[in-house]
């Protein structure tokens, strides 16, 4: 009976392919979304820090703050639906790309705050040291502050990636075949929920636990050569 | 003599508290001017205002004939060096990378040229073997000497030192003051905030005494130390 169920869920008609496809999509969305998130987050964090230091870029700073507050203050599922059903309503864009964009924009707001904390963790005398040598603010950020800040926040960025891996399951709402959706598809064929759901739960756990172990290792390793 | 730096009516207020009150002075080429005064009297703030790390509330600063308000401050800073009390070396870069960062990123030198120059300078302070060390592997005195080299490679025309020995163990003060002395002998103009009175006496061509954000008295080291005129300076020197 159990073996029969297992066979029906995964082997019959190559149903395991749904799991593979879902896993691939989940990882793809999470990976590219975190990259977009880091890009957006860095730009916003630097704009906000530049504003704090010089009182310039008022409009950009305001928009950055608005973006962070709106994204962090609304559910990701709503953002996803707005982007898919409103913004991309008339285009026949690949739904995976919609997912990457939506989760990337969402992640950017959280990463912006992470990077801001990272920049704040670097003593101000580092920026002053660079400025006093004639480097402008952006060169100081690029060569002096950010390399040290990124080191400090790598673990937090790792955690953001882990969160994204789980959060992408929301993508099934707009029809993305991610890992969660894959289990749903299989179950709808077999009317057996146990194996597909438990299987993807185990896969999520393997990924997230594996990644957290990696983050922990990073923390230990960075802890050794992070300088005061 | 030609004036290299002129400060007129400099005022710096943090919220409503005036830290610098109408500071006026100038420095001629080749002078070694020292600023002394009690802690918190605005000495460090003054140095930071002079290269616009802190933007002064009011007043005019002219460096080499250029009004700081109307010039690219980054260009000024390459010629108006500042050595910090806490060194401000970049911990993620090696000693060599610390020294060549500014000249290479500002495209003043090619990387090879900068490296060679940096190694020569390191050799002159006997730290060539530390070129590939990270700042945290150096002693305080070594860090400050590297920081001085990092400023020197820019070939500044005026170097400011903000209490360069205050963060050091007493044992290490000498190695830093000797280096500053050697650099001074090349004829470069210097503006130094220091609490090391022996150091001040040995190098100063002029001394400025500050208290409560104002210049109280200024003169030659002899006048300042042997014949202080104001009550404030007399009290400061007796403590």
Contact across the interface for A126 and B88, Cβ inside 8 Å: yes
Q: Which domain holds residue A21?
A: 2-225
- CA A128 – CA A135 distance, rounded (Å): 10
Please name every residue paired with B190 in a beta bridge, in sequence order, or none if there are none. B32, B159
- Report the residue from B92, B101, B154 with minimal CB separation from A148: B92
- CA A44 – CA A107 distance, rounded (Å): 12
pLDDT of residue A196: 85
Q: Is B78 helix (H, G, I), strand (E, B) or coil?
A: helix
- CA A57 – CA B83 distance, rounded (Å): 30
pLDDT in tens, B61-102: 999 999 999 999 999 999 999 999 999 999 999 999 999 999
Q: What is the 3-state secondary structure (H, E, C) of chain A?
A: CHHHHHHHHHHHHHCHHHHHHHHHHHHHHHHHHHHHHHHHHHHHHHHHHHHHHHCCCHHHHHHHHHHHHHHHHCCHHHHHHHHHHHHCCCCCCCHHHHHHHHHHHHHHHHHHHHHHHHHHCCCHHHHHHHHHCCCCHHHHHHHHHHHHHHHHHHHHHHHHHHHHHHHHHHHHHHCCCCHHHHHHHHHHHHCCCHHHHHHHHHHHHHHHHHHHHHHHHHHHHHHHHCCC
pLDDT of residue A227: 44
Q: Which of A123, A129, A143, A147 to mutate to test the interface with B (most CBs of B within 10 A)?
A: A129
**What percentage of chain B reaches a pLDDT higher than 90?**
97
Q: CA of A227: which chain B residue's CA is closest?
A: B91
| Tokens read off for B125 | 């302070």
pLDDT of residue A226: 47
In this prediction, residues A46-66 reach a mean pLDDT of 93
Residues of A in contact with B134 (CB under 8 A): 227
In this prediction, residues A56-79 reach a mean pLDDT of 95
pLDDT over threshold 50, residue A222: yes
pLDDT in tens, B141-182: 999 999 999 999 999 999 999 999 999 999 999 999 999 999
- Which residue in this structure is represented by tokens 């026949």? A92
pLDDT in tens, B178-207: 999 999 999 999 999 999 999 999 999 999
Question: What is the CATH superfamily name and number for domain B3-89+156-238?
Answer: P-loop containing nucleotide triphosphate hydrolases (3.40.50.300)
Contact across the interface for B81 and A132, Cβ inside 8 Å: yes
Rg (CA), chain B: 18
Q: Which of B52, B90, B154 to mutate to test the interface with A (most CBs of A within 10 A)?
A: B90
Which of residues 6 through 65 in chain B touch A, CB cutoff 8 A? 48, 51, 53
Query: Do A151 and B92 touch, CB atoms closer than 8 A?
Result: yes
| Tokens read off for B225 | 């130390």
Supply the DSSP symbol for B136: G
In this prediction, residues A179-191 reach a mean pLDDT of 86
Sorting pLDDT into bands at 50, 70 and 90, what band is A224?
Answer: low
Q: How many domains does chain A have?
A: 1
Contact across the interface for B150 and A133, Cβ inside 8 Å: yes
pLDDT over threshold 80, residue A74: yes
From the CA of A158, how many Å to the nearest CA of chain B? 21
- CA B101 – CA A142 distance, rounded (Å): 12
Q: Which of B53, B92, B150, B191 to mutate to test the interface with A (most CBs of A within 10 A)?
A: B92
| Tokens read off for A110 | 């959280």
CATH of the domain at A68: 1.10.3720.10
- Which residue in this structure is represented by tokens 């999509």? A25
- CA B117 – CA A79 distance, rounded (Å): 55
pLDDT of residue A228: 38
| Tokens read off for B60 | 């005019």
pLDDT over threshold 50, residue B138: yes
Which of residues 69 through 128 in chain A touch B, CB cutoff 8 A? 125-126, 128
pLDDT over threshold 90, residue B43: yes
Instruction: For B72-99, give one letter per residue: b (16+ CB within 10 A) or e.
Output: ebbebbbbbbbbbbbbbbbbbbbbbbbb
Mean pLDDT (chain B) is 96
pLDDT of residue A194: 85
Q: CA dist A111 to A46, B175, B239, Å?
A: 12, 45, 53
φ, ψ for residue A121, nearest 5 deg = -75, -10
In this prediction, residues A133-150 reach a mean pLDDT of 95
Contact across the interface for A126 and B90, Cβ inside 8 Å: yes
Query: Do B9 and B59 touch, CB atoms closer than 8 A?
Result: yes
pLDDT of residue B90: 98
Q: CA of B92: which chain A residue's CA is closest?
A: A148
Supply the DSSP symbol for B139: -
- CA A225 – CA A223 distance, rounded (Å): 6
B167–chain A Cβ distance below 8 A for any pair: no
A129–chain B Cβ distance below 8 A for any pair: yes
Contact across the interface for B101 and A134, Cβ inside 8 Å: no
């Amino acid at each position: 009976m159990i073996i029969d169920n297992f066979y029906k869920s995964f082997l019959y008609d190559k149903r395991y392919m749904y799991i593979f496809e879902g896993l691939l999509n989940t990882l793809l969305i999470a990976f590219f979304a975190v990259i977009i998130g880091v890009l957006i987050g860095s730009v916003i964090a630097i704009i906000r820090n530049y504003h704090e230091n010089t009182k310039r870029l008022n409009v950009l700073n305001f928009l950055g703050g608005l973006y962070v507050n709106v994204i962090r203050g609304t559910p990701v599922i709503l953002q996803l639906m707005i982007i898919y059903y409103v913004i991309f309503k008339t285009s026949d864009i690949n739904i995976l790309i919609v997912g990457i964009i939506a989760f990337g924009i969402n992640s950017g707001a959280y990463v912006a705050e992470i990077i801001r904390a990272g920049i704040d963790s670097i003593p101000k005398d580092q920026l002053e040291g660079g400025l006093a040598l004639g480097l402008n603010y952006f060169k100081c950020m690029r060569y002096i502050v950010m390399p040290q800040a990124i080191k400090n926040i790598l673990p937090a960025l790792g955690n953001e990636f882990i969160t994204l891996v789980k959060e992408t399951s929301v993508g099934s709402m707009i029809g993305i075949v991610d890992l969660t959706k894959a289990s749903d598809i299989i179950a709808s064929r077999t009317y057996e929920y146990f194996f597909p759901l438990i299987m993807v739960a185990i896969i999520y756990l393997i990924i997230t636990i594996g990644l957290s172990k990696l983050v922990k290792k990073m923390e230990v390793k960075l802890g050794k050569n992070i300088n005061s | 003599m030609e004036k290299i730096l002129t400060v007129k009516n400099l005022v710096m207020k943090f919220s409503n508290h005036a830290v610098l009150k109408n500071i006026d002075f100038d420095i001629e080429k080749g002078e070694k001017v020292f600023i002394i005064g009690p802690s918190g009297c605005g000495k460090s703030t003054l140095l930071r205002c002079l290269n616009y790390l802190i933007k002064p509330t009011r007043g005019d600063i002219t460096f080499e004939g250029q009004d700081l308000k109307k010039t690219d401050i980054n260009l000024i800073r390459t010629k108006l060096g500042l050595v910090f009390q806490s060194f401000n070396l970049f911990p993620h870069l090696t000693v060599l990378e610390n020294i060549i960062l500014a000249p290479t990123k500002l495209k003043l030198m090619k990387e090879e040229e900068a490296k060679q120059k940096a190694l020569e300078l390191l050799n002159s302070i006997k730290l060539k073997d530390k070129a590939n060390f990270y700042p945290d592997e150096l002693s305080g005195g070594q860090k400050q000497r590297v920081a001085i080299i990092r400023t020197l490679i820019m070939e500044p025309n005026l170097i400011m030192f903000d209490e360069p020995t205050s963060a050091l163990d007493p044992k290490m003060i000498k190695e830093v003051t000797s280096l500053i002395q050697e650099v001074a002998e090349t004829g470069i103009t210097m503006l130094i905030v220091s609490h090391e009175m022996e150091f001040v006496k040995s190098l100063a061509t002029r001394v400025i005494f500050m208290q409560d954000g104002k210049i109280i008295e200024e003169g030659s080291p002899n006048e300042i130390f042997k014949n202080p005129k104001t009550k404030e300076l007399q009290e400061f020197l007796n403590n």
